[in-house]
A and B are shown apart, each in its own frame.
Chain A
Amino acid sequence: MASFNLNINGKTQQVEVDPATPILWVLRDHLDLLGTKYGCGIAQCGSCTIHVGGMAVRSCQLPVSAVGNQEITTIEGLSENGDHPVQQAWLEHDVYQCGYCQAGQIMSASALLKSNPNPTDEEIEGSMNGNICRCGTYTRIKKAIKTAAANTENA
């Protein structure tokens, strides 16, 4: 067990955990940030995607000891009130079915648009291929990403 000071969603949070604990379980079990989901535990499904230093990262594979003082953003901290352009586009297209994977999809999509504000279809597919949606909302996700890109550009 060791103590870690984490910078999550703009706040410093202290946890006492095994240094090998993936940040996913620190978020879910120790900090009550339950928006980040467990799906596979081996970085194959993307449900647990968060931002670390602005990059999309699979939190199930990132030990808490490797985070250091990098900024972590989870779905709860992506925007103040669900008003990030990606979240708004998700609402507009009523993307979700069961909804379980969508936090991860939104975190991957928002990281993509940050580095590439106007991605092509191939670039969207390349960045999003690590995020599985078992319900099959992929075509809506792609539309929503395009809407978010357009709205960001016009903003």
Chain B
Amino acid sequence: MTRIKTSYNRRSFMKVSAAASGGMLIGFSWLNGCVPAASNKKAGLAVPKEWFDINGYIKIGDTGLVTIYSPNPEIGQNVKTSMPMIVAEELDVPWENVIVEQAPLNTGFYQNQFAGGSLSIRLSWNALRMAGATGRRMLMEAAAKEWGLTVADLTAKDGQISETNGERTVSYGEIASKAVGIEIPEEVELKEIKDFKLIGTSIKNVDGKKIITGEPLFGLDFKREGMKIAMIQHPPAFGMTVKDFNAEEIKKMPGVTDAFIIDTTLEEVGMFDEKGFLQLIAIVGESTWPLIQAKKAIKANWETIGELEDSSLHVERLEKALVSGKVQESRVDGNPDAAFKKAVKVIERTYSAPFIAHNTMEPMNFFANVTENAAELIGPTQTPEALEGSVAKLLNMPIENITVNMTRIGGGFGRRLYVNFGVEAAAISKKIGAPVKLIYTREDDMSQGTYRPTYRARYKAGLDENNNLIAFSVKGAGLPDGPIFPKRFPAGAVENYRAEKIGGKTNVTTGAWRAPRSNFTAGAEQSFLDEVAELAGKDPIDFRLELFERAMNNPVGEEHDYEAERYAGVLKMVKEKSNWGEKIPGVHRGVAAYFCHSTYVAEVFDMVMQNGQPKIKKVWCAVDCGIVVNRDAAKNMVEGGVIDGIGHSMYSKLTFANGAVSEMNFDRYQLIRHSQVPEEIEVFFVENEIAPTGLGEPGLPPAIGALANAMYKATGQRYYHQPFATERQILG
């Protein structure tokens, strides 16, 4: 066993005890109450009469039922199942005895309560293990005290504590009451990774039954007695604000109780505050449909306060930025200019991608109940702490008076890192003096901003007479931020290397969109390398492996952001699993590999032409994310990432005319559908004992490169500009 000090967490464990006794943790549950709902009831164990708080993660009932709190927002990445699995592993309790509850925001106890950057598991791995191990240790101490023994005389396993050399056993449920108040141990023992029983298996989604029976789980489903419904109307274009509107007329409409303008300007703007439309028309009523009607009747005077941009202007600005834009970040190794002059073959290509929206299936919404001294917020947010901070600023209220609880979240993809909809709900609640649920329509959601920036990048490579890559340069511009990571591959693998990240101006607001920047660079870079390999007359996988050899054995420059061995590892794995060398008539193959969010993924796409259209028959994925926590769920994340990458690079784009988005709903904005996805996706994991890294994002970026490369093989055309689909060329 590994012994680790708990001192780092001791203070926070204490804090949570205080919070729990105040009812904060045990008090929360908005629909089902703390007693498990019928669908949650586990076979064989009765519903406990009494629950005992062991620490902020674990509550044990007198019948042996264990509640584990999942601290982070659940946006579909399945942390509500996988985080408690880690606690249950170290607590050593059968999963059948575990109930999972969403924890509220509690910065005094939990750390890193957010869903972003594929970080939930990576950042909480130790804390979750420690929480479980601490619980187990406290239960053992309680049993030892009862029996007049020491912990060393006992073993704990499967929810039971036994005398190692004796007959006595006691279940966690029976001893739980005695464990309350036991001092937090100074250090605890963690399991050896080889002894894991739960981690690495496939545990089904804890909310599965509720999802398939339509139980209310999401923010949009939240209801509270006396609650009003509100909708907002933002200006029709970026660069505009609202001056006034026909409020009196709107207020007279059936089902409308109030209409006014809110101002959500904060004195100090944080990283997760959306900056697009701060003054908004708000309409309040009792139910949704009358408000949708009232929105259509709004006649407003919009005022132009900034430039009204067109898509053609965006392309112009990106082009100009690539020539003379301000470099935000860069790296140079060797002498690229001299090397390009010396090169026998030089290739240069330009890639681009448009603004895209997140389009979570659940549109933005939030519940707020602002009273004179307190504010309660409930809903779907990836960053509850940021929301709390922004609401505190808006209301000029101490943070302690604000509570944030998280519902299940109908998709995040980065959109719900930004907290404006929660802030808007608070502003409306304050104004009407009543609890309110703010709902965006799809049109509000899609035209509101926070988009993935638009990008354009120019890649250049030079080969010597032996077809070795001797020079590589990339210049990438974005509005407003450039897409390039100067220290990423192929940095470290090429003697003469230059990378420049360049920003440009726009008033279209942007934000993190699943695998920020990587969602563009992976496609561009991996398509480009495919073309360079072809120019060099080399197999695309062997060509990449050669570069990793260089980065491993004789790295160029000071440092790079990846482990070449693990990068090469996933490529080798996908090569083997897909029988890469094998030629199957009619099957066209493309490969790509990418490292982001601490996880390595390589993908091979098998494509066929069917009725004149390319169709993806199979996708092979090799993934190195360290220890796999929940195997089948991990596969699901990678599958989803692959499909998301294909979908957005093939079909999705936002275009602008006079500052206004032209695509407002799914009739004009295309998302990938059933008939367009690969027939099969197979996911393989590298087995190792490295602490786990994230999977929410890394499956997506390489899919774009592998898709473009397979389509080239299938159609003979290279794909440089997203979205790749044309009227003639869609995926069959």
A residues at B contact (CB < 8 Å): 1, 17-18, 20-22, 25, 28-30, 32-42, 44-45, 47, 74-76, 81-82, 87, 90-91, 94, 96-103, 106, 121, 124-126, 128-129, 131-142
Contact A139 B678 (CB under 8 A): yes
In B447-461, the 8 Å CB interface with A consists of none
**Which residue of chain A is the closest to B675 with respect to CB atoms?**
A125
The yes or no answer to B523 lying at the interface (CB within 8 A) is: no
Q: Once the chains bind, are A101 and B361 in contact (CB under 8 Å)?
A: yes
Q: How far is the CA of A141 from the CA of B643 in the complex (A)?
A: 13
Contact yes or no, A134 B636, CB < 8 A? no
Q: Which chain A residue has the least Cβ–Cβ distance from B446?
A: A40
Given A91-B209, A98-B362, A135-B76, check contact A142 B204 (CB 8 Å).
no
Q: Is the CB of A98 within 8 A of B411?
A: yes
Beyond A25-B287, A124-B674, A138-B674, is A103–B681 a contact (Cβ under 8 Å)? no
Interface string of B668-689 (1 = CB under 8 A from A): 0001111101111100000000
For residue A74, which residues in chain B have a CB less than 8 angstroms away from its CB? 214
Contact A99 B666 (CB under 8 A): no
Separation of A2 and B359 alpha carbons in the complex (Å): 35
| A35: contacting residue among B214, B410, B681, CB under 8 A | B214
B residues near A39, Cβ cutoff 8 Å: 361-363, 442
Chain A CB within 10 Å, residue with most, of B208, B211, B216, B672: B211
A38 to B76 Cα, complex, angstroms: 18
Q: For the complex, is B306 an interface residue (Cβ under 8 Å from A)?
A: no
Residue of A nearest to B646 (CB): A136
Q: How far is the CB of B203 from the nearest CB of chain A, in Å?
A: 9
B78 contacts which chain A residues (CB < 8 A)? Answer: 97
Q: A129-B674, A139-B639 are in contact. List 8 more A-B contacts (CB 8 A).
A: A34-B221, A47-B361, A90-B212, A98-B360, A98-B408, A98-B409, A99-B76, A135-B644
Bound-complex Cα distance A137 to B677 (A): 10
Report how far A106 CA is from B78 CA in the complex, Å. Answer: 20
User: Which residue of chain B lies nearest to A136 when distances are taken between CB atoms in the complex?
Assistant: B643
Q: Are A29 and B287 in contact (CB under 8 A)?
A: yes
CB distance B209 to A94 under 8 Å?
Answer: no
Q: Which of B212, B410, B642, B673 lies in contact with A98, CB distance below 8 A?
A: B410
Chain B: residues with CB nearer than 8 A to chain A? 39, 75-78, 202, 204-205, 207-209, 211-218, 220-221, 223, 229, 254-255, 287-290, 292, 359-363, 408-413, 439, 441-442, 632-633, 636-637, 639-644, 647, 665-667, 671-675, 677-681
Knowing A18-B254, A25-B288, A40-B666 touch, does A138 contact B214 (C-beta < 8 A)?
A: no
Q: Please tell me if the beta carbons of A94 and B208 are within 8 angstroms of each other in the complex.
A: yes
Please tell me if the beta carbons of B214 and A128 are within 8 angstroms of each other in the complex.
Answer: no
Q: Nearest 3 pairs between A and B by C-beta?
A: A35-B214, A136-B643, A98-B76
A16 to chain B, nearest CB (A): 11
Alpha-carbon gap, A29 to B292, bound state (A): 13
Write out the residue numbers on chain B whose beta carbons fall within 8 Å of the beta carbon of A140. 636, 639
User: Do residues B289 and A87 form an inter-chain contact, with CB atoms below 8 A?
Assistant: no
- A97 near B77 with CB under 8 A, answer yes
- In the bound assembly, the distance between CA atoms of A7 and B545 in angstroms comes to 64
- A75-B223 Cα distance, complex, nearest whole Å: 19
Within the assembled complex, what's the spacing in Å between the Cα atoms of A152 and B103? 39
A41 CB, nearest partner CB in chain B, Å? 6
Q: How far is B666's CA from A40's CA once the two chains are assembled, in angstroms? A: 7
Determine if A134 and B360 form an interchain contact, defined as CB atoms under 8 angstroms apart: yes
Which residues of chain A are within 8 angstroms of B217 by Cβ–Cβ distance?
A: 99
Task: Write out the residue numbers on chain A whose beta carbons fall within 8 Å of the beta carbon of B213.
Answer: 35, 75-76, 81-82, 87
Is the Cβ of B76 less than 8 Å from the Cβ of A132? no
- Give the complex CA separation of A76 and B359 in angstroms: 26
Which chain B residue has the least Cβ–Cβ distance from A32? B223
